[in-house]
Amino acid sequence: MIRQANRHARTDRRRGTALVEMALVLPIFFTVVLGIVEFGRAMMVGQMITNAAREGTRMGILDGETNTTVTTWIESFLKDSINVSAADVTVTITVDPATGNPDPVDQIGNALSKDLVTIKVSVPFDKVSYIPGDYLSGKSLSAQSAMRHE
């Protein structure tokens, strides 16, 4: 009977230990989990921006396209895929003339065969992150694609 009383006394002293351990470990655990989720979101958004740049460049190397139609398509694609407004998307189009071709002045409509069309797309990270805060404010996710005009 004395042994049973001692056993209960020992467990009563340790009763709050699990609560204290959980209070110490739980914030760290949630921070790590939320970091993993946010990093995964950044990778997914980065891939969508890469796709937008690549598909926009494919569209831009065809005859009859203009900077406006390509930019509008890229903004629409990103709005539909990652829910970012067109005002937050930056699209930069550069057209470098091939040897012997006149300078197209960065206009896809003026590009000739073999001119290099380069499209860079960027989105501020704070516009696409799940977790609010300014820990990465000022940073952008960006992608670039280049192809020869047909």
Mean pLDDT of 1-7: 59
Q: Two tokens at 124?
A: 């501020």
Cβ-contact 89, 124 below 8 angstroms: no
Residue 60 has pLDDT above 90, yes or no: yes
CA 24 distance to own-chain centroid: 32
pTM of the model: 0.81
Secondary structure of residue 37 in the 3-state scheme: helix
Mean of the pLDDT values across residues 117-128? Answer: 94
CB of 107 closer than 8 Å to CB of 67: yes
**What's the pLDDT band for 78 if we cut at 50, 70, 90?**
very high
Per-residue pLDDT, 10? 61
Type of residue numbered 57: T
Q: What is the pLDDT of residue 150?
A: 86
Return d(Cα 146, Cα 150) in angstroms, integer.
13
Q: Is the pLDDT reported for residue 6 higher than 80?
A: no
Predicted local distance difference test score (pLDDT) of residue 7: 60
Cα three-residue angle 66-54-64, rounded to 5 degrees: 20
